[in-house]
Amino acid sequence: MSRPEHIAPPEIFYNDDEARKYTDNSRITSIQAEMAYRALELLNLSEGPKYLLDIGCGSGLSGEILEEEGHIWVGLDISSAMLDVANEREVEGDLFLQDAGQGVGFRPGVFDGCISVSVLQWLCNADKTINRPKARLQRFFSTLYASLTKGARAVFQFYPENDDQIELIIDVATRCGFEGGLLVDYPNSKKAKKYYLCLFAGQQTGIKNQMPKALGEDGDLHPDEERSIQYEKRGHQYKKKSRDRKSVKNKEWINKKKRIAREKGDKPVANDSKFTGRRRKVRF
């Protein structure tokens, strides 16, 4: 399947139709919610409500998780159709129509943290040659760094296309002053594997920045995978039982059935012979 960011620029791809389809899809909403929760967890915020930024907030699925957890949020997105749906859904965040590649236009040091869910890969693709991805990433990360309080974190869940893309993103973010790196949850799972870029905007006084631990590193399975293995096991047991039942039809079993039928006497029963219950050849 081709990647959406190869099909059209984001403001074209996320048109009215796509914005509605995206938000009405229950599978998408539950995956986005799970990733938004994880990004919020990785922000490692202290107790109490915080002022957070959601980059590429779309129709507000990720922002809703922030408000559910008691935070105040501001969202920006390049697609007016996505923001229209967010407004219809009456999300609590303040919404801005803005291209993150042009830089985020907020006052310095205002946000206690930033999340971004399924967006960063879009910034690595440019529709025109004048829009160089590296320059766009540079504008984005430098202005984002400035808008965060000292020691705040920015966590990006994203779908990197290849290792070069990861290297480019980390290189640019580091040059803009961020520390941190990449965290891969459930690295051995095809379905549950998720990439999170965890960035630190400087250091809080007296606290050393430490990369958080990835989930599933020790071989633990994602809860959905555990559930599906249990289903598979149950299916296997069921199949085994039905196989066992077939093997009951041996000579002894057939003779017993015949004896019962003869005692009942309501239908003719074949005579016993040395061929009763023999293995038959498979005919093709």
Ligand X SMILES: C[S@@+](CC[C@H](N)C(=O)[O-])C[C@H]1O[C@@H](n2cnc3c(N)ncnc32)[C@H](O)[C@@H]1O
Q: Output 24 or 217, the one with its CB closest to ligand X.
A: 24
Q: Output 133 or 202, the one with its CB closest to ligand X.
A: 133
Strand partners of residue 185: 194
Strand partners of residue 77: 97
User: x-or-dash pattern for ligand X, window 223-252, by CB under 6 A?
Assistant: ------------------------------
- Shortest reach from residue 101's CB to ligand X, in Å: 5
- Which of 42, 43, 53, 82 binds ligand X (CB under 6 A)? It is 82
197 contacts 140 by C-beta, under 8 angstroms: no
Q: Which of the 8 DSSP states describes residue 240?
A: H
Q: Output 62 or 165, the one with its CB closest to ligand X.
A: 62
Sheet containing 148-158: which strands, arranged edge to edge?
Answer: 94-97, 72-77, 51-55, 111-117, 148-158, 194-200, 179-185
- Shortest reach from residue 232's CB to ligand X, in Å: 30
Q: Output 118 or 178, the one with its CB closest to ligand X.
A: 118
Residue of this chain nearest to ligand X (CB atom): 58
Q: Which of 170, 177, 180, 117 is nearest to 147 (CA)?
A: 177
Q: Which of 99, 27, 28 is nearest to 59 (CA)?
A: 28
Q: Output 146 or 269, the one with its CB closest to ligand X.
A: 146
For residues 106-145, which are near ligand X according to CB under 6 A?
A: 117-119, 122-123
Q: Output 25 or 255, the one with its CB closest to ligand X.
A: 25
Q: Which of the 8 DSSP states describes residue 199?
A: E
User: x-or-dash pattern for ligand X, window 42-81, by CB under 6 A?
Assistant: --------------xxx--xx-------------xxxx--
The helix, strand and coil proportions of the chain, stated in percent and rounded to the nearest 5, come to 45, 15, 40
Size of the site for ligand X (CB under 6 A): 21
SS (H, E, C) 11-70: HHHCCHHHHHHHHHCHHHHHHHHHHHHHHHHHHCCCCCCCEEEEECCCCCHHHHHHHHCC
**Binding interface with ligand X (CB under 6 A):** 10, 14, 32, 56-58, 61-62, 76-79, 82, 99-101, 117-119, 122-123
